[in-house]
């Protein structure tokens, strides 16, 4: 259970990072080489749900593990754990944020675009918290392969966020900017 | 689409222009019904609409209803609605 809990946590961290990258790509409105926009959007959703599945494995396994001493309260309330409570609490915070993002994502058509989007932005807060939890709480959090993986996904996500904030981010950005210039007197 | 088949549209895809951001998913799913203008916004494909018809309600064929339902579900800004005649 201990080993399984660690491995599934690592897998979830990688999948969440992939999901953030795909989410940013979805927002840009661009296809991914040959993959159409619809598929990028579905991939973003399905990778996210896969991350959730691995997260359920991760938390479930450690709840059943006697060494981890994880209680049901720790799944919902952060910073009360017995093993590295601060770093474990970050995991709880990330889990609670992710739960909000996933539930509002699944109910997007019912709750409306504005609420969905507002909550969906929490992903940007969730991701660094989840990464910090991986490194700070993982038994192998500072071992070479984990650090290498964290460096790779961090560079990718930071670059994607920088791209997200750049002027040419939207597929149609250049044309829409040109259009604005034509209209200006 | 001839004038007759236009009248027999299986449903209409309503585009809410106040929400539409021209992300282009609908045009991918309905390549025969929709094209995109230069700024990415969806346009009824040539011949789909009568000259002075309402451009916010694109008539669909029976065979397009499944793809249209997907487009309504996947529109990233919830700008689409399916209106049965």
SS3 label, residue B35: strand
pLDDT at B4: 47
Choosing among A22, A113, A172, which should be mutated to test the B contact, i.e. which has the most B CBs within 10 A?
A172
CB A25 within 8 A of CB A40: yes
Number of compact structural domains in chain B? 1
Work out the angle between the directed axes of helices A113-120 and A122-137 (0-180°, nearest 10).
30
pLDDT at A47: 97
Containing domain of residue B60, as a range? 3-83
CATH number of the domain at B33, please: 3.30.70.20
pLDDT at A180: 59
Residue in B closest to A36 by C-alpha? B28
* Cross-chain Cβ contact B24/A113 below 8 Å: no
* Cross-chain Cβ contact A38/B29 below 8 Å: yes
pLDDT at A184: 46
* Cross-chain Cβ contact B39/A112 below 8 Å: no
The DSSP letter of residue A32 is B
What's the pLDDT tens digit per position in A94-106?
A: 999 999 999 999 9
pLDDT at A133: 94
pLDDT at A50: 97
pTM comes to 0.88
Average pLDDT value over all residues in chain B: 87
Give just the sign of the alpha carbon dihedral B7, B13, B16, B22.
negative
SS3 label, residue B15: strand
What's the pLDDT tens digit per position in A67-92?
A: 888 888 888 999 988 888 899 999 99
Number of compact structural domains in chain A? 1
The DSSP letter of residue B17 is T
Containing domain of residue A119, as a range? 2-183
Which parts of chain A have pLDDT scores under 70? 178-185
pLDDT at A170: 85
Which parts of chain B have pLDDT scores under 50? 1-6
């Amino acid at each position: 259970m201990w080993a399984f809990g660690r491995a599934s946590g690592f897998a979830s961290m990688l999948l969440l990072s992939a999901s953030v990258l795909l989410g940013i790509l979805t927002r840009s409105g661009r296809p991914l080489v040959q993959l159409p926009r619809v598929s990028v959007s579905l991939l973003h959703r399905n990778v996210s749900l896969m991350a959730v599945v691995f997260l359920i494995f991760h938390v479930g396994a450690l709840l059943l593990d006697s060494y981890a001493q994880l209680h049901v309260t720790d799944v919902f309330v952060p910073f009360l754990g017995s093993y590295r409570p601060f770093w474990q609490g970050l995991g709880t915070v990330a889990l609670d944020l992710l739960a909000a993002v996933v539930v509002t994502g699944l109910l997007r058509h019912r709750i409306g675009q504005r609420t969905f989007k507002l909550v969906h932005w929490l992903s940007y807060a969730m991701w660094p918290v989840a990464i910090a939890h991986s490194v700070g709480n993982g038994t192998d959090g500072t071992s070479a392969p984990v650090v290498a993986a964290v460096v790779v996904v961090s560079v990718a996500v930071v670059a994607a966020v920088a791209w997200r904030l750049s002027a040419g981010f939207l597929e149609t950005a250049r044309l829409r900017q040109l259009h604005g210039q034509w209209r200006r007197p | 689409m001839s004038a007759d088949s236009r009248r027999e549209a299986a449903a209409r895809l309503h585009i809410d222009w106040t929400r539409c951001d021209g992300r282009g998913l609908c045009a991918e799913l309905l390549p025969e019904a929709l094209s995109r203008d230069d700024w990415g916004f969806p346009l009824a494909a040539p011949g789909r609409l009568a000259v002075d018809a309402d451009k916010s309600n694109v008539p669909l064929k029976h065979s397009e209803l499944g793809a249209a339902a997907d487009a309504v579900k996947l529109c990233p800004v919830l700008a689409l609605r399916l209106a049965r005649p």
